[in-house]
Amino acid sequence: MRLEVGRAGDVAPARIVGQTYSVRVPTEKQVSTASVDLEVPERVIVSAVPAADGATHEEKRQAGRIVTITWTKEIKPGENAVFTFVATNPSAGTEIAWKVHQRYSDGTVSDCGPVTKLTTDVPASQQTSSPAGAIETWLKDYDTAFNAKDLDRLATFYHPDVTIYEGGGINTGWIDYRDNHLGRELKSY
Ranges of residues in the chain with a pLDDT under 70 are: 1-18, 119-133, 167
Three-class DSSP category at 73? strand
Give every CB contact of residue 59 below 8 A, 6+ residues apart in sequence: 46, 49, 66, 68, 69, 70
Q: What is the pLDDT of residue 132?
A: 67
CATH fold for domain 4-117 = Immunoglobulin-like (2.60.40)
Give the residue extent of every domain in the chain: 4-117, 128-188
pLDDT of residue 9: 41
138: left (phi over 0), alpha (psi -120 to 50) or beta: alpha
**Whole-angstrom Cα distance, residue 160 to residue 57?**
11
Identical fold for domains 4-117 and 128-188, yes or no, is: no
Rounded to 5°, angle at Cα 95 from 98 and 73: 25
Domain 128-188 has CATH 3.60.20.10: no
pLDDT tens sequence across 140-160: 888 888 888 888 888 888 877
CA 130 → CA 126, 134, 135, 136, 149, distances in Å?
A: 12, 6, 9, 10, 29
Pairing of strands 4-7, 109-112: unpaired
Q: Which amino acid is at 89?
A: N
Q: Which residues of 130-156 are buried (b: 16+ CB within 10 A; e: fewer)?
A: eeeeeeeeeeebeeebeeeeebbbbbb
Q: Where are the beta strands (DSSP E) in 78-134?
A: 80-88, 95-97, 99-104, 109-112, 115-117
Provide the residue type at 80 as one letter: N
Smallest CA-to-CA distance from 52 within 77, 25, 76, 89 is with 25
The predicted pLDDT at position 176 comes to: 84
